[in-house]
């Protein structure tokens, strides 16, 4: 598979929104948050009519998009895509990584890699593609570039990551395995690791970074939250209005889940890599198996076999 220069876990920044807002209150933050609001995409994606399926199951799904490049507008590929599921019924927060090379049907463009949908027409087409191909109802999104990722981790004095023996040589300044405090630059290097294993393991490392950042923000006692928020706001777009963000953030805070259950989609037992002329490396997937399993992970988690998570 080709080398992908930019990393996928910049979505860790987005998790911070769910922590900072309730702690700092609304007031001034309302106007700050409004600067993230993307009116054009909001016209295409309505968040006011939540799907009956989501309401019935107490589910809020938010698409987290990390954009390949500094520009978070359409025209750049979505190098990272995750569905953040806030499950009020089971009091649980879950993450689903969507592999960027998953081969899907994109309306108006034919069969392409999932990552191309954002580049073609932005978040609205990406969300539509996810619904059409995977059967998951998503109407909310947050997109962020990688520009501020290092700075946010450095503001928080690093994050705790358990580094394996084979990962040590891939991170500058790390000399031994075990739990280490990674600064922003080291966290990026950790997230870029690819050739010692696979792109799927890289996705797993990204989710570890998100969880570590979430927990660091929850426990931050150094008054860094406003600095983090200001950094987030500079490089973020969403179709959610400020009060909606506040409402969702409060849901996440009340759940207080510090260990996110996570999966990679498509699932490893029903996917295969292939090389198609003019398309490059793509991921083919068994549609019935993958869609049914993802549906259970998001909507029927009480009966989901957790031993299957990858």
Residue 172 lies in a domain: no
193: in domain: no
Query: Please, where are the H alpha helices in the chain?
Result: 12-24, 27-34, 39-44, 52-56, 116-121, 123-134, 149-155, 165-168, 184-192, 199-218, 225-234, 242-255, 287-299
Query: pLDDT of 182-237, one tens digit each?
Result: 998 899 889 878 788 877 888 788 778 878 887 887 777 667 777 777 777 777 88
For residue 115, the domain's CATH number is 3.30.420.590
In a domain? residue 125? yes
Q: Is residue 26 scored above 80 in pLDDT?
A: no
d(CA 115, CA 112): 8
User: What distance in Å separates the CA atoms of residue 283 and residue 275, rounded to the nearest whole number?
Assistant: 9
Instruction: Say whether pLDDT at 16 is over 80.
Output: no
Q: Give strand pairing partners of 167.
A: none
Query: So what's the pLDDT on residue 10?
Result: 38
* Residue 277 CB-density burial (10 A; 0-12 exposed, 13-18 middle, 19+ buried): exposed
- Cα(143)–Cα(141) distance, integer angstroms: 7
**Structural domain includes residue 191:** no
Each residue of 95-131: pLDDT tens digit? 899 999 999 999 999 999 999 999 899 889 999 999 9
Q: What is the pLDDT of residue 182?
A: 96
**86, 59 Cβ separation under 8 angstroms:** yes
Within-domain flag for 181: no
- Classify each residue of 55-80 as buried b or exposed e, where b means 16 or more C-beta atoms within 10 Å of its C-beta: eebebbbbbbbbbbbeebbbebbbbb
- CA angle at 82 for the pair 132 and 287, rounded to the nearest 5°: 40
Higher per-residue confidence, 213 vs 10 = 213
Task: Output DSSP code: residue 37.
Answer: B
> Distance between CA atoms of 90 and 84, rounded to whole angstroms?
15
Mean pLDDT of the chain: 81
Q: Which residue has the tokens 């900072």?
A: 20
Neighbours of 105 (CB within 10 A): 12
Query: Is residue 199 assigned to a domain?
Result: no
Report residue 82 as tokens: 């995750």
On whether the CB atoms of residues 283 and 114 are closer than 8 A, the answer is no
How do residues 283-308 score in pLDDT, each as one tens digit?
999 999 999 999 999 999 988 887 65
Total domains present in the chain? 1
Residues 71 and 78: beta-carbon distance below 8 Å: no
Per-residue exposure over 185-195, b if at least 16 CB sit within 10 Å of its own CB, e if not: ebbbbbbbbbe
127 domain-assigned = yes
295 CB-contact burial (10 Å; exposed 0-12 / middle 13-18 / buried 19+):
middle
* Main-chain phi, psi angles of 262, to 5 degrees: -140, 145
- 204 is a domain residue: no
Indicate the length of the chain as a whole number: 310
Closest of 154, 123, 158 to residue 236, by C-alpha: 123
Read off the pLDDT of each residue in 18-27 and give the average, rounded to a whole number: 52
- Domain extent at residue 43: 9-147+235-308
Q: Please give the structure tokens belonging to residue 67.
A: 């954009």
What's the count of helices (H) and strands (E) in the chain, helices before strands? Answer: 13, 12
- Sequence-separated (6 or more) residues with CB below 8 Å from residue 49: 139
Distance separating alpha carbons of residues 60 and 2, to the nearest angstrom: 34
Identify the burial level of 2 via C-beta atoms within 10 angstroms of its C-beta, where 0-12 means exposed, 13-18 middle and 19 or more buried: exposed
Residue 257 burial (10 A CB sphere; 0-12, 13-18, 19+): middle
């Amino acid at each position: 598979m080709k080398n992908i220069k930019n990393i996928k876990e910049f979505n860790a920044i987005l998790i911070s929104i769910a922590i900072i807002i309730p702690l700092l209150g609304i007031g001034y933050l309302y106007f700050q948050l409004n600067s993230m609001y993307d009116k054009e995409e909001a016209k295409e994606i309505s968040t006011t009519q939540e799907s009956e399926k989501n309401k019935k199951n107490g589910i809020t799904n938010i698409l987290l998009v990390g954009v390949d490049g500094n520009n978070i507008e359409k025209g750049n590929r979505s190098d990272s895509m995750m569905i953040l599921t806030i499950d009020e019924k089971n009091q649980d927060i879950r993450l689903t990584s969507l592999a960027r090379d998953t081969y899907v049907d994109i309306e108006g463009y034919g069969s392409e890699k999932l990552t191309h949908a954002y580049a073609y027409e932005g978040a609205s087409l990406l969300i539509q593609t996810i619904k059409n191909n995977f059967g998951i109802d998503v109407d909310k999104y947050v997109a962020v570039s990688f520009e501020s990722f290092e700075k946010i981790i450095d503001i928080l004095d690093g994050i705790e990551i358990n580094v394996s023996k084979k990962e040590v040589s891939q991170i500058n300044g790390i000399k031994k395995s075990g739990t280490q405090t990674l600064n922003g630059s080291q966290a990026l290097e950790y997230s870029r690791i690819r050739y010692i294993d696979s792109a799927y393991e890289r996705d797993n490392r990204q989710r570890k970074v998100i969880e570590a950042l979430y927990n660091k923000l929850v426990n931050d006692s150094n008054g860094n939250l406003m600095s983090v928020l200001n950094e987030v706001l500079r490089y973020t777009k969403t179709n959610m209005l400020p009060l909606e963000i506040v409402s969702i953030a409060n849901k996440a805070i009340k759940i207080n889940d510090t260990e996110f259950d996570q999966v990679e989609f498509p699932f490893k037992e029903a996917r295969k890599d292939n090389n198609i002329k003019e398309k490059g490396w793509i991921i083919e997937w068994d549609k019935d198996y993958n869609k049914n399993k993802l549906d259970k992970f998001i909507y029927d988690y009480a009966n989901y076999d957790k031993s299957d998570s990858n």
